[in-house]
């Protein structure tokens, strides 16, 4: 990766590194003053940062309490029965922002397509500051969360923020994405308490359907691009993760995601396997057979033609992977096991960032509880998704997937009925990491953490990133708060206290460096 | 099948048939008197039957209310959280029997193997009558039920008995096996109310773990064979189903069942498929691949050597299938679809009765809810079972299953960990249908329903059948109450009012014909 800062101060960088290596997540970084001045000399230290940082530290308990309240609201967008909680969470967020003097609106998105009995959660938009002489930064986050049940393997109640002795704050949504969203709220509060003016105009766009394909958001952004969002100079999204656990990163690329359901149905109701086993076609047998034809245990996708859609690797790109500060140990630490597929860091990062992958998530309709139930399920629905990369077009992927699955099912000569459909898709995205939006964020990382960030891509998909880029025509930056061990989407999701508090400082510092940047496109 | 009754009265049989064909399940059969006398002339009509039948009809609402109370207790033996309800059900049953003057005991079975925090439900044993001049019949049933949730596709609350206009009584356990168990209770009550002496001594053995492999029951039966059960002259079990919906059957054979779990685990916690997809071995991919190697969509078991354990078909046996009153329409009706594998009745019955089958029941640990969760499950457990037949020995089956699964997993070159184990097994059983125990039941069927029963085998497994045969050394008869459309183990399980009320008459009539039989072994 091309260094963003030709002028390096190795001794300081090292001292920053060694300092960091001593941090326990629960202690905030004590940056020595000489280190401060050293930076001021080469990055035009923004004068308001010190009191802002001080205020964040003093308000940290207030900020953690804010996160505790947010986690307590089970705003699960994928489960109908929790829709009311998603709305509650929107109201909570709107109230917090209003109390800090922001102009807040909850914008309705109408009924949920395919589930017309449900209203889509509102987009919470807010404006803080309206000074024509300042840059305007549009920040995005989401206030909905993935499903979570104690039985899924949680050591604590998923919707009660629980902080352990190492400062790990466990709770569904803590890192994905309530922590980062509240980070922006905290930034405003800290500035007000410290009596510091926010150096930019802030536009907030917080949605409630991100974990269910951001239903309805694209149209909203397109419609508001030249209205509510018209002053936007750059976009910042905090909804991904550091590559490791100590070093922050800035992200300029994402994989897309096409999520599919494939159902097989036969009998009118579940059957007793003793009475009917051997005499009737079993949907579960058919489904398992079809699912086994999608991807092999080495991660190779078995759908003919799919890999032909992937952009070839250039020598330039190939050279980038070696410099990323990432090791197989990092992978094993975040996996909690040594079950990585590839032999080295480079191939691992390529598999995560620039090649597609296919994961089978589960089966709906079969017996999923502990115990032993001798049932033949009447209808089973397999769920799987494909992470997409340049230059895979969703329509092309869908056609290959549908054709392959129908062809494999036809081979079974089963009298059962198969259906396969796309639940939702989101396109991949790659941006320019040399834009001032990224330089400002990089300086902020050095200021708060004392290290240069890794410039990374992500395996995950944040479809809205592309939408913002296309709708506003502005540069989009991904500025993560959480670390690689946060277990987003999993049991025991957490956000480290350090990432939340120093992350709040990072978001604020970023805004100050943005204000300093020459306003070029 | 050799006819049990050389002396046929075709016209009467036909009139019985035609009468039956007109029954709606909600109307009880009105057997014409001439038909009655016709029977008396060739089967020594037991004089107490008419008043007994009359009493059953008069008490039918009381009997249905008894079933309603029983269904309301969710005695699910496979789910820890319902264990208390299984105990409640045992108490309910003990109270009902005690109130009718039976000597009742609840025999504890100790802790549940592998789940020592749980007590096994008691065996409810009861004695009614102790006359050395009477035969003693040991009857068995179970008061636990399969899991059930409204979301599984129930049209009504699974634990509220709901009767529709056709007299179909919906509720978990209605037909499997609370209806039949209460049938025996009803028989005692009807005799007392009608002032008729019970013609035999009745020994009851009702267990609460049948749906979870009858944990602990075998040892109990072995231990009591020469004690509590020592006077037993024959055993009667009502826990299976008619072949169709109109004609009762007597069952002399059962398949066994070996229930397996196969787990694949890798990462320490669930993973985000965007972040880790493509870089780590996914347990779900491995499991699906392994499960796809067990059985093909035509029902052929793919485990090498397994079919070699199956007893070859004799010409004698082959000739039996043609006479069974069963049609492909019956199959389609009970399936609610035309997804049968085989082209004709004979091969369908053979597949159900005398060949093994393998069913995949579900996967524990994967995403099973509606919606779209982009998770890579850390540990998934596949559940499948094999229905066994003569001459498959459980140990041989286990070895073939374990070897095959381990060999298939080894081919995957996955770094994940696989484990496979037997959850429980129950052996197949085949008895002699020419014993007086069967003749008495056959006469009772003719008396109550006006038709000769089919002599059948069953695809389901009732492991205790074999245990009783081996422990008591006496003949065991399976005398079903429910019909083929009762959907045992499924959503919308039901028992027809007619099957419950006429079935109660059948159980009582059986005891009277037993009393008439010459007491040969």
The pLDDT-based confidence of A519 (bands split at 50, 70, 90) is low
pLDDT of residue A317: 82
The nearest alpha carbon in chain A to B257 belongs to A274
Per-residue pLDDT of A367-391, as tens digits, reads: 999 988 999 999 999 999 999 999 9
pLDDT of residue A322: 84
- What lies within 8 Å, CB to CB, of B175 at 6+ separation is B241, B481, B482, B486, B488, B493, B494, B495, B499
* Alpha carbons A106 and B203: distance in angstroms, whole number: 70
The pLDDT-based confidence of B320 (bands split at 50, 70, 90) is confident
Listed residue (A342, A344, A346, A340) closest to A320, CA to CA: A346
β-strand A162-163 against A494-496: which pairing, if any? Answer: unpaired
Q: Among the listed ranges A503-507, B40-44, B52-56, B331-335, which one has the minimum average pLDDT value?
A: B40-44
Q: Where would I find the H helices in A374-463?
A: 394-411, 436-449
Indicate if the pLDDT at residue B383 is higher than 80: yes
pLDDT of residue B92: 98
Contact B297 A279 (CB under 8 A): no
Helix (H, G, I), strand (E, B) or coil at A364: strand
Listed residue (B430, B436, B431, B454) closest to B511, CA to CA: B436
* Alpha carbons B139 and B137: distance in angstroms, whole number: 6
CA distance A393 to chain B (A): 18
pLDDT of residue A458: 87
Q: Is B264 on the interface with A (CB under 8 A)?
A: no
Indicate if the pLDDT at residue B513 is higher than 60: yes
If contacts are CB pairs under 8 Å, which of residues 7-66 in chain A contact chain B?
A: none
Cβ-Cβ contacts under 8 Å, B301 against chain A: none
**Which active-site residues of B does the annotation give?**
144, 210
- The DSSP 8-state label assigned to residue A428 in this structure reads -
B216: left (phi over 0), alpha (psi -120 to 50) or beta: left
Q: Residue A177 is encoded by which pair of tokens?
A: 């994405």
β-strand B249-254 against A136-142: which pairing, if any? Answer: unpaired
pLDDT of residue A25: 34
If contacts are CB pairs under 8 Å, which of residues 474-493 in chain B contact chain A?
A: 484, 487-492
**E-only strand ranges, B339-444:** 357-364, 375-376, 379-388, 417-426, 429-430
- Among partner residues A288, A341, A348, which is closest to B288 by beta-carbon distance? A288
Indicate if the pLDDT at residue B17 is higher than 90: no
Q: For residue A312, which phi and psi values (nearest 5 degrees)? A: -65, 155
The nearest alpha carbon in chain B to A380 belongs to B362
The pLDDT-based confidence of A33 (bands split at 50, 70, 90) is very low
Task: Please report where in the chains the tokens 């589930």 appear, as a residue.
Answer: A115
Mean pLDDT of B501-506: 98
Contact A152 B492 (CB under 8 A): no
CB distance A306 to A387 below 8 Å: no
CB distance B252 to B493 below 8 Å: no
CA distance A139 to chain B (A): 22
Task: Please report where in the chains the tokens 């150096």 appear, as a residue.
Answer: A199
Helix axes B497-516, B60-71, angle to 10 degrees: 110
The nearest alpha carbon in chain B to A354 belongs to B278
- Among partner residues B268, B288, B359, which is closest to A282 by beta-carbon distance? B359
pLDDT of residue B37: 33
The pLDDT-based confidence of A463 (bands split at 50, 70, 90) is confident
Q: Residue A245 is encoded by which pair of tokens?
A: 């656990």
Contact B377 A361 (CB under 8 A): yes
If contacts are CB pairs under 8 Å, which of residues 70-99 in chain B contact chain A?
A: 78-80
pLDDT of residue A383: 98
> Of A154, A173, A273, A282, which to mutate for an interface test with B (greatest number of B Cβ within 10 Å)?
A273
Indicate if the pLDDT at residue A255 is higher than 70: yes
CA distance B163 to chain A (A): 19
- Among partner residues B212, B335, B360, which is closest to A284 by beta-carbon distance? B360
Per-residue pLDDT of A381-433, as tens digits, reads: 999 999 999 999 999 999 999 999 999 999 999 999 999 999 999 889 988 88
- Among partner residues A275, A357, A372, which is closest to B259 by beta-carbon distance? A372
Mean pLDDT of B132-137: 96
Contact B298 A492 (CB under 8 A): no
The nearest alpha carbon in chain A to B282 belongs to A297
pLDDT of residue A460: 83
* Alpha carbons A230 and A473: distance in angstroms, whole number: 10
Q: Is B118 on the interface with A (CB under 8 A)?
A: no
- Among partner residues A146, A297, A367, which is closest to B383 by beta-carbon distance? A367
In three-state form (DSSP H/G/I as H, E/B as E, the rest C), the secondary structure along B214-272 is CCCHHHHHHHHCCCCCCCCCEEEECCCECCCCCCCEEEEEECEEEEEEEEEECCCCCEE
Residue numbers belonging to the annotated binding site of B for substrate? 239, 272, 374, 387, 461, 489
The nearest alpha carbon in chain A to B484 belongs to A275
H/E element, B513: helix B497-516
Indicate if the pLDDT at residue B446 is higher than 50: yes
Q: Residue B101 is encoded by which pair of tokens?
A: 């003057």
Cβ-Cβ contacts under 8 Å, A387 against chain B: 273-274, 277-278
CA distance A451 to chain B (A): 23
Instruction: Between B13 and A349, name the one with better pLDDT.
Output: A349
CA distance A419 to chain B (A): 16
If contacts are CB pairs under 8 Å, which of residues 147-186 in chain A contact chain B?
A: 147, 152-153
Strand order of the β-sheet with B357-364 is B357-364, B379-388, B256-265, B417-426
* Alpha carbons A10 and A23: distance in angstroms, whole number: 20
pLDDT of residue B44: 52
Q: Among the listed ranges A18-27, A52-61, A146-155, B494-503, which one has the minimum average pLDDT value?
A: A18-27
Q: What is the pTM (predicted TM-score) of this model? A: 0.72
> Of B279, B489, B494, which to mutate for an interface test with A (greatest number of A Cβ within 10 Å)?
B279
Contact A292 B297 (CB under 8 A): no
Q: Residue A172 is encoded by which pair of tokens?
A: 């569904």
Cβ-Cβ contacts under 8 Å, B251 against chain A: none
- Among partner residues A270, A291, A348, which is closest to B288 by beta-carbon distance? A291
Q: Among the listed ranges B21-25, B113-117, B490-494, which one has the minimum average pLDDT value?
A: B21-25
Size of interface A-B (CB pairs under 8 A): 380
Counting residues of chain A whose pLDDT is more than 70, the rounded percentage is 90
Mean pLDDT of A226-239: 97
The pLDDT-based confidence of B370 (bands split at 50, 70, 90) is very high
> Of B297, B332, B492, which to mutate for an interface test with A (greatest number of A Cβ within 10 Å)?
B297
Q: What does the angle CA B498 – CA B503 – CA B507 come to, to the nearest 5 degrees? A: 165
pLDDT of residue B18: 30
Mean pLDDT of A259-288: 96
**Which active-site residues of A does the annotation give?**
144, 210
* Alpha carbons A176 and A144: distance in angstroms, whole number: 9
The nearest alpha carbon in chain A to B380 belongs to A362
β-strand B115-119 against A494-496: which pairing, if any? Answer: unpaired
Q: Is B456 on the interface with A (CB under 8 A)?
A: no
pLDDT of residue A433: 85
The nearest alpha carbon in chain A to B416 belongs to A339
Average pLDDT, chain A: 90
Indicate if the pLDDT at residue A83 is higher than 60: yes
Mean pLDDT of A195-206: 97
Q: Is B343 on the interface with A (CB under 8 A)?
A: no
The pLDDT-based confidence of A179 (bands split at 50, 70, 90) is very high
Per-residue pLDDT of B468-488, as tens digits, reads: 999 999 999 999 999 988 999
Cβ-Cβ contacts under 8 Å, B286 against chain A: 297
Listed residue (A138, A109, A139) closest to A123, CA to CA: A109
Q: Is A351 on the interface with B (CB under 8 A)?
A: yes
Indicate if the pLDDT at residue B42 is higher than 70: no
């Amino acid at each position: 990766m091309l260094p963003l800062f030709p002028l390096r101060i190795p001794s300081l960088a090292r001292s920053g590194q060694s300092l960091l290596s001593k941090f326990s997540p629960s202690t905030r970084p004590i940056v020595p003053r000489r280190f401060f001045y050293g930076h001021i000399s080469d990055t035009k230290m923004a004068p308001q940062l010190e009191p802002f940082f001080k205020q964040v530290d003093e308000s940290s308990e207030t900020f953690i309490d804010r996160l505790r309240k947010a986690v307590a609201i089970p705003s699960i967008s994928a489960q109908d029965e929790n829709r009311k909680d998603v709305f509650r969470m929107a109201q909570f967020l709107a109230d917090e922002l209003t109390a800090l003097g922001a102009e807040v609106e909850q914008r309705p998105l109408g009924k949920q397509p395919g589930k017309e009995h449900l209203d889509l959660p509102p987009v919470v938009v807010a404006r803080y500051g309206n000074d024509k002489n300042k840059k305007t930064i549009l920040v995005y986050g989401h206030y909905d969360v993935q499903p979570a049940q104690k039985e899924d393997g949680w050591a604590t109640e998923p919707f009660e923020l629980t902080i352990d002795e190492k400062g790990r704050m466990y709770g569904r949504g803590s890192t994905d994405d309530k922590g980062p969203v509240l980070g922006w709220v905290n930034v405003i509060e800290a500035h007000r308490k410290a009596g510091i003016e926010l150096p930019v105009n802030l536009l907030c766009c917080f949605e409630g359907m991100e974990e269910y394909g951001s239903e309805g958001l694209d149209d909203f952004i397109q419609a508001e691009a030249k209205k509510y969002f018209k002053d936007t100079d750059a976009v910042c999204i905090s909804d991904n993760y550091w590559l490791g656990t100590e070093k922050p990163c800035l992200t300029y690329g994402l994989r897309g995601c096409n999520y599919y359901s494939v159902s097989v149905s036969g009998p009118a109701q579940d059957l007793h396997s003793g009475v009917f086993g051997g005499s009737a076609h079993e949907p579960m047998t058919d489904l398992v057979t079809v699912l086994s034809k999608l991807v092999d245990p080495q991660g190779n996708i078995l759908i003919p033609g799919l890999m032909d859609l992937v952009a070839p690797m250039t020598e330039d790109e190939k050279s980038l992977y070696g410099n990323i500060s990432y090791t197989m140990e990092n992978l094993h630490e975040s996996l909690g096991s040594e079950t990585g597929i590839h032999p080295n860091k480079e191939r691992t990062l390529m598999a995560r960032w620039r090649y597609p992958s296919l994961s089978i998530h589960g089966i709906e309709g079969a017996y999923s509880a502990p115990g032993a139930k001798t049932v033949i399920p009447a209808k089973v629905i397999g769920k799987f998704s494909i992470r997409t990369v340049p230059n895979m077009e969703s329509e092309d992927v869908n056609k290959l997937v549908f054709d392959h699955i129908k062809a494999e099912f036809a081979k079974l000569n089963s009298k059962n009925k198969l259906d396969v459909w796309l639940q939702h898709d989101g396109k991949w995205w790659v941006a320019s990491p040399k834009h001032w939006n990224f330089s400002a964020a990089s300086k902020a990382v050095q200021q708060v953490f004392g290290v240069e960030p890794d410039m990374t891509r992500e395996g995950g998909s944040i479809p809205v990133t592309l939408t913002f880029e296309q709708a506003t025509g502005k540069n989009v930056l991904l500025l993560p708060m959480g670390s690689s061990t946060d277990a987003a989407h999993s049991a025991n999701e957490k956000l480290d206290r350090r990432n939340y508090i120093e992350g709040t400082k990072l978001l604020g510092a970023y805004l100050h460096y943005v204000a300093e940047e020459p306003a070029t496109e």
